[in-house]
Amino acid sequence: MALESKNKNSSEIPQQKTPEIDFEAIVKLSRDAVIQLSLDGTPLFISPAAEKLFGWSAEDLKGHLSDLVYIDTPDKDAHALHRILSGSGNPEDCPSNAELQLRSAYGPLIWLDVSVHLQQDSNGAPCNFTIFCRSIAKQRELESLLEAASQSDPLTGLYNRRAFEDNLKREWAIALREKTHTSLIKVTLDRFEALTENFGPGAAEDCLTKVAAMLKETARRPADIAARTASSEFSLLLPRTHEMGAETISAYIHIAIQDLGIPNPDNASGGDGIVTASVGAVCAVAEQTGVSESSEFLLSAAESCVFQARQEGGNRVKTVMKTLTR
């Protein structure tokens, strides 16, 4: 009887019912933007986070879907997402964790991490695309700052040697293709070691900073590059600048450094006791297509001019013109 009683009592214990999960409510709480489209591009769901991210209401966003993706270079993922948003997406071609730029109501393009998932119906047939978007604007900004830091000289803020040579290779490749003039100017401060010995590293850094500011002001055009390429050496890259321009700018730099009036007593014989510079400049142009000369020859030619200027006592300008043929 006791056993029967126990079984009877246990059968009376109510079974807990598993609560239904409202997945749509969960998605609406997510900070990730979610857009769900049918295979033909018909919007099925747009989350509140998507409205906030793109700056349009759900109803207005529907009218902008086909124009959201910004494409400026060949990009497989960008083109695939554009087709999906335009209603001609390929179920077998879904971007996964792609970093893309999309348009928004705010004006500027926004960087997003985008992934697209293909959903299937109960029969296993593709039925819709679900697009997840997350802003990576802060990440991109940090990467940009780190990239800028890796290309800059920490003392002067000018480009460093590596960044200068990278820019030189790129601009020289363009010059060869378009047969345009390229000028490169090297500036070496005369007897700079003596300035450090006489006045200390603080005075030396102040001198470099003042020279750098003058060179930065000289390299005004967007394509011009001013760099600190050694301890007391600076370089200027002047794309699409002819020989006369290189000579004029070199002469200006030579005088402008003297006009700074920075004391350097050991430079008395050639520079009246102030900081001066030996300046070397090369201007080069390829008159024919097919020239394969590397940018190294520009560096070598400018350095040879500086060496010649220093051999003659410093505080002077030397220039050379190079015309390249096959």
Q: How many separate domains does the chain show?
A: 2
Of the pLDDT bands very low, low, confident and very high (cuts 50, 70, 90), residue 13 is low
The mean per-residue pLDDT over the stretch 70-94 comes to: 91
Q: Where a domain ends, among 119, 138, 157? A: 138
Band (73; pLDDT cuts 50, 70, 90):
confident
Domain match, 134 and 247 both:
no
Mean pLDDT, the chain, whole residue set: 89
Residue 19 in domain: no
| Residue 1: pLDDT over 50 | no
Cα–Cα dist 85/65, whole Å: 6
Region 195-221: what's the mean pLDDT?
94
The Cα–Cα gap between 283 and 52 comes to 53
Q: Which of 78-82, 120-124, 283-287, 291-295 has the lowest mean pLDDT?
A: 291-295
119 shares a domain with 78: yes
pLDDT digits (tens, 9 = 90+) for 225-268: 999 999 999 999 999 999 999 999 999 999 999 999 999 988 87
pLDDT of amino acid 168: 95
Does 192 lie in the same domain as 82?
no
Q: Are residues 123 and 204 both part of a single domain?
A: no
CA-to-CA distance for 133 and 77, rounded, in angstroms?
14
Among 208, 215, 182, 160, which Cα is nearest to 293's?
Answer: 182
pLDDT above 70 as % of the chain: 92
| Mean pLDDT of the region 115-135 | 93
In a domain, 85, yes or no: yes
**Range of 150's domain?**
146-324
44 falls within a domain: yes
Give the mean model confidence (pLDDT) for residues 288-312: 90
Count, residues in the chain: 326
- Would you say residue 3 has pLDDT above 70? no
Domain CATH number, residue 175: 3.30.70.270
Q: Which of 80, 63, 61, 84 is nearest to 71 (CA)?
A: 80
Phi, psi values for residue 98, rounded to 5°: -95, 135
Assess whether 54 and 122 both reside in one domain.
yes
Domain boundary among 109, 138, 167: 138
Q: Is residue 18 part of a domain?
A: no
192: in domain: yes
Is residue 168 located within the same domain as residue 39? no
- Clarify whether residues 303 and 211 are in a common domain: yes
For residue 5, the tally of other CB atoms under 10 A from its CB is 9
284 versus 21: the higher-pLDDT residue is 284
Nearest alpha carbon to residue 104 among 41, 145, 51, 150? 51
- Please give the order of strands across the beta sheet that includes 110-120: 43-46, 33-38, 126-135, 110-120, 98-102
Residue 36: which CATH number?
Answer: 3.30.450.20
- 170 shares its domain with 262: yes
The pLDDT, as a whole number, for residue 113 is 95
Does 87 have pLDDT greater than 50? yes
Residues 238 and 215 in one domain: yes
Q: pLDDT tens digit string along 256-279?
A: 999 999 999 888 766 688 999 999
Both 124 and 160 in a single domain? no
Mean pLDDT to the nearest integer, 166-175:
93
Within a domain: 17: no
Confidence grade of residue 12 (pLDDT, cut at 50, 70, 90): low
pLDDT of residue 53: 94
Structural domain contains residue 132:
yes
Last residue in a domain, options 111, 138, 165: 138
Verify that 121 and 210 share a domain, yes or no.
no
User: Do residues 220 and 293 share a domain?
Assistant: yes
Whether 7 is in a domain gets the answer: no
Order the strands of the 182-189 sheet from edge to edge.
225-230, 233-239, 182-189, 277-286, 317-324
